[in-house]
Structure 1
Amino acid sequence: MDIIIVGCGRIGSTLVEELSGENHDISVIDKKADIVQEMADTYDVLGVIGNGASYNTLVEAGIEKADIVIAVTNSDELNLLCCLIAKKAGDCQTVARVRNPLYYDEIAFIKEEMGISMVLNPELGAAYEIARLMRFPSAMEVNKFSKGRIEMLKYRIPSGSRLDGMNLSMVGEHLNCDILICAVEREKKLIIPTGSFELKEKDIISFVARPDNAMEFFRKIGEKKNQIHDVMIVGGSKIAFYLCKLLVASGINVKLVDKKMERCEEMSDLLPKVMVINGNGMDHDLLMEEGLSDMDAFLALTNHDEENIFLALYVQEQTEAKLVTKVQKINYNAMIERLDLGSMIYPEYLTAQYLVQYVRAKQNSIGSNIENLYKLMDGRAEALEFHIQKGSPVIGTPIQELPIIKNLLICSIYRNGKAMIPNGQDVILEDDLVVVVTTKKGLHDVKDILRRG
C-alpha cells in the first residue's frame, strides 16, 4: 500500500518502524529536515520536508496514488486540516490524531463532516487501557477481544504460586476454570507452549478467558488483591482527565495530585466528583498525608518519565497497591523492565499499534479482516483477531486438521454472541471472530495462519 505519514514524532517514527518491514511504499512529511533525513536513512521511505497541510507538499509525497494518509503531528488542528486537504487531493483513507479534550464529545461530528476515516486519541486509548487494569489488579496487562467478551491478560507467576510446576494440560483440570495460556516469557525467551509445558515461578504468562473466568482463575490461584475502590493519581495529564471520568463512572473514588494550581482548578471544574489536591507529587510526606497507604491503586501519570519512574519505585516500597506507570520513551524499556514498576503504559506505542491494525485491515481486499491487534512480550509476538468471511480456507475443518504454521495458537472463537476457548474438534465458521497468538510477524489475513503448499 502507498502510505503517507505526516509528523515524525514518537508515534510517527514508531509507525514507520512497524510498517516499513511489511512491503508498503511509505512517504514521511515533517518540517524538521534533520528528522526527515534520519527517517529516510534508517528506513526505506521517501522523506519530504514541509507542511503536511500544504497541497504541494502532499503532491510531492505522492498524494495522487496514496491509499492512506496518517496525520500524527503535535497539532490537532494541523492533523485535521491535513486530512481534509488529502481527502480533496486524492482518493484515500485519512487518519488523524486528535488529543484535545475539547474535541472529546465532537469526534463523531468531526469524522462525518470532514470525511475522516479514523480519529485516534492516544491519551483516551491509554485511559481505557488503565481502566481495564483496575478490574484485574493482579494482571500486568489486559487486552480485549470479541467485543469485550474475551480478554487477554498478562500475569507474572509469584514465588510459592500454585501454578509453579504445573503442566498446562493440568491447569484446567486442577483449577476447573476455562482459560488458555497462549504465551510464556521465561528468562527473556518467548514460548508458544504446548500442553506438556511446565510452568515455573517468575514466568510471565499471557492467557485468554472470559472476564468472569479470569476473575475465577485469579481467585483459585490465591491472588488476594481485592477489587479497586480507592485510587490515587499523580499528574493532571490528559490521560488523567479521561481516566478520572471512566473511574468515577464505575464507582471508584479518585484523588488527583498536581503541582500546578491552574491545572488543579481546571480539573476540579471538569471533574466535580474527583478530590483534586494542589501539591508536589514527589513530596512523599504529602502522599502519605493524603492516604497513600490506604489506596488500592496508585497511578504515576505525570508528563515526565523520570518522575513517574521514581514515584513508582517509592510507592512499591510503601504499599501493596496496584501500580501503573506511564512512560513515553519506548527506549527506556530495556532499563525499566528490571525495576518491576507494575503495569507499564506507553500511549504512543498503543496508538502506533492501533494504526498498524488499521493499515493491515485496509490492505485486505478479500478474506478475513483484522479486527484487533496487540503486541505481546515487547513486540516479539502478536495477538490478532480475524473476522472470518465467506470463502475463507479455514472454514469447516476441525482445528486439529488445519495445516497451521509453527508457533501459532488459536485461542478463542466468538460466535452468535458467545465466546469459547476451542479444542481440536471445534470448527471455524463464517462470521466468527477468531483470536490467534503467534511469533510470526506481518499476518494480514486468516489464510496466513495456514502452511502453503
Structure 2
Amino acid sequence: MKIIIAGAGEVGFHLAKLLSYESQEITLIDPNKVSLAHADTHLDIRVIRGDATSIAILKESRVNTCDLFIAVTSSETTNITICVLAKQLGAKKTIARISNTEFIHHKEEVGFTKFGIDELISPEALAASEIELSLKQSSFNENYEFENGALTMAGLTLSRSASFVGKTVKEAAQIFPELHFVPIAIQRFGTQYTIIPRGDTKFKRGDNVVFITSEGGGDELCRLTGKPNKALKNVMILGGSQIGFKTARDLSEKGFNVKLLEGNRDRAFELAEVLSKVLVINSDGRNVDLLEEENIRDMDAFIAVDANSETNIMSCLVAKSKGIKKTIALVENMDYFELSHSIGIDTLVNKKLLAANNIFRYIRRGEVVAMTKLNNLNAELLEFQVNGTSAVCNKTIKSIDFPRSAIIGGVIRDGVGMIALGDFKIQEGDRVVVCCLLKSIKRVEKLFL
C-alpha cells in the first residue's frame, strides 16, 4: 500500500514508524529540515521537504498513485486543505487530523466527504474518551469498547486473590461456566513475551491478562480477581490543555465533581469562563502542599495531562501515595508503558498510539471496523465484518483453520455481544473480534476477505 503522510511532528513520525514496520511504501512530507532528517535517518521511508499545500510538492510525492493520504500537521485548517487537494489530485482515501471536535460531531451534516475528506481524527478527543472509559472501568488498566460496549476489552494484573490463579484456562472455564468473559492475551510478569492463551495455559500471579467481556462480564471479572469496580465521583485534573479541557467538560456533564488545576493565570480564567460546572484553580499542581490543601485525599481519581510527561508521572505517584484509587497519566514516550505497572500508575494514555490505532484499520485487509494495539503487548485487536464470501462465513469456530497465534474473543450479532466458543457458528453480517500476534495478521486478514 502506498501511503503519504503530511506532517513529521510527533503523530506523523510515530505513524510513519509503525507503518514502515509493516513494509508499507511510506512518503513523509514536512517543511522542517530537522524533523525530516531524523525520520530519514531512523526510518526506511521516502522524505520530501516542502509545504504539503503546494500542488508541486504533492505531485512530486506521486499523490495520484496514493492509496491513503494522512494529513497530521499541527494546523487543522492546513490538514483540511491538504486533504482536499490530495483527493482532487487522485488520492484514493484521505484522513485529516483536527482539534475542533465539532467537525466530527457534524461530519455528516457538513458533508466532508464531498470536499474530499474521508475521515477526521482528533488525538485530543481520542485521549479524552480513553480517560473517560478508564474511569468507567476503574479496576482495569486498559480498556477498549466495541460497538458502544457490546464487547469490551479489559486488561488487568492478576493478584494472589484472583480465584483462577494457578488454574488453566480450561479448568477455570469448567469452574465458572456461566461467565461472560474470555482471556485473549497474557504477558508473564517480568517478561516481554505475549502469549495467546489456549486451554492448557495456566494463569499465574502477576500476569498482565487481557480479556474480552460481554455485558456484565466486567463486574464478574472484578469479583473473581478481587478488584471491585468502585464508583468514582470526585476527580482532580492536572493541566488545562485541550485534553484537560475536553476531559473536564465531558466528566462534569456526566455528573462527576471535577477540580482542574492550571498554572497559567490567563488560561485558568479562560477555562473558568467556559467550564461552569468545574472548579478551576490557578495553581501549580506539582506542589504537594497545594494538593493537600485542595483535599487530594478526598479524590477518587487523579488525571495528569500536563504538557510534560515526567510531571504527569510524578504527580500521579504523589496522588497514589495519598491513597487515590485511580491514577491516569498522559505520556509521550512509548517506553514508559513498560514501566507503568511496576511504578504503580494505573493507566497511561498516549495520543500518538491512539491516533495510530484509529488510522491503522484503514491499512488492514478485509472489512476492519475497528482496531487497537494492546499496550506493551506485541498484538492487535481487530473487529472484522463478515461478508458472504469470507472464509469464516457459515463455519463453526473450531472448524476454521485459525493460526495458533490468534484467537477469536467474541462476536457481535445484531448489536449484541457474545463470548463465542468452539461450537459457535459465524454468520454473514457478524462482527468478529480477533486478537492476534503481529506475525499472524496476514493469515487472519485472508479469512475475512
Give the TM-score, by structure 2 length.
Answer: 0.93
Q: Deviations over 1:6-48 (max 9, x none)?
A: 1112211111122123342221101122332332343332210
Distance of aligned partners of 1:386 and 1:445 in 2 relative to their CA distance in 1, 3 Å threshold: farther
- Residues 37-74 of structure 1 show CA distances to partners (whole Å, capped at 9, x for unaligned) of 33234333221000011111111111121122111111
C-alpha contact (below 8 Å) 1:157/1:201 kept by paired residues: yes
5 Å-filtered alignment, 1:50-449, equals 50-100=50-100, 107-108=107-108, 109=110, 111-112=112-113, 114-175=115-176, 176-186=178-188, 187-188=190-191, 189-334=193-338, 336=340, 338-360=342-364, 364=365, 368-441=366-439, 443=441, 446-448=444-446
Closer/same/farther in 2, CA of residues 331 and 211 from structure 1, 3 Å limit: same
Instruction: Please tell me whether the aligned partners of residues 7 and 29 of structure 1 are also in contact (alpha carbons under 8 angstroms).
Output: yes
Name 1:40's counterpart in structure 2: 40
What SS class does the counterpart of residue 163 from structure 1 fall into?
A: coil
Deviates more, 1:397-406 or 1:117-126: 397-406
Give the 3 Å change call, closer, same or farther, for CA 164–433 of structure 1 in structure 2. same
Q: In structure 2, the residue corresponding to 1:338 is in which secondary structure?
A: helix
Tell me the CA shift for residue 85 of structure 1. 1.5
Letter paired with 1:33 = K
Secondary structure of the residue that 1:99 maps to in structure 2?
Answer: coil
How big is each residue's C-alpha offset from its partner over 1:342-397, in whole Å with a ceiling of 9 and x where there is no partner? Answer: 1000011110121111232xxx4xxx311111111424011111001121111122
> Is the CA contact 2:139–2:230 (under 8 Å) kept in the aligned structure 1?
no
Q: Which string of whole-angstrom CA distances, capped at 9 and with x for unpartnered residues, describes residues 62-120 of structure 1?
A: 11211221111111121111112212222432111112467576555272453311111
Shift of 1:431: 0.8
What is the one-letter code of the residue matched to 2:374? Answer: L
Across the two proteins, how many residue pairs are aligned to each other?
444
Task: Name the CA distance, whole Å, in 1 between partners of 2:218 and 2:173.
Answer: 12
Q: Does 436-445 or 246-255 show the bigger shift?
A: 436-445
- Structure 2 unmatched runs, 5+: none
- Give me the whole-angstrom Cα distance separating, in 1, the residues matched to 2:384 and 2:103: 31
Q: Is the 8 A contact 1:234 1:302 kept in 2?
A: yes
Structure 1 residues 449, 291: CA separation in 2 closer, same or farther (over 3 Å shift)? farther
- In 2, the alpha carbon distance for the partners of 1:318 and 1:166 equals 35
1:297 and 1:259 map into 2 onto residues whose CA distance is 20
CA 1:335–1:219 in 2, change beyond 3 Å: closer, same or farther?
A: closer
Partners of 1:192 and 1:92 in 2: CA distance: 36
CA contact (8 A) 1:157 1:163 kept: no
Residues 190-249 of structure 1 deviation map (CA, whole Å, 9 limit, x = unaligned): 111112222122111100112422123213433235211111111111111111232123
- State the distance in 2 between where 1:165 and 1:144 align: 29
Structure 1 residues 144 and 257, CA, compared in 2 at 3 Å: closer, same or farther?
same
- The 3 A distance-change label for structure 1 pair 379 and 322 is same
CA RMSD of aligned residues (A): 2.1
Structure 1 residues 177 and 235: alpha-carbon distance in aligned structure 2, compared to 1, 3 A threshold: same
Task: Provide closer, same or farther for how the CA distance between residues 262 and 24 of structure 1 changes in structure 2, counting only shifts above 3 A.
Answer: same
Instruction: In structure 2, give the amino acid aligned to 1:425.
Output: D
Distance across 2 between alignment mates of 1:102 and 1:374? 24
Asked if the contact 1:22–1:442 (Cα under 8 Å) also holds between the matched residues in 2, the reply is no
Summarize the Cα distance change of 1:334–1:395 in structure 2 as closer, same or farther, 3 Å threshold: closer
Aligned equivalents of 1:303 and 1:54: distance in 2? 31
Letter in 1 for 2:394: G
Q: For 1:18 and 1:310, how far apart are their aligned partners in 2?
A: 28
Cα 1:279–1:101 change in 2 (3 A) is farther
Closer/same/farther in 2, CA of residues 274 and 55 from structure 1, 3 Å limit? same
With structure 1 as the length reference, what TM-score do the two structures score?
0.92
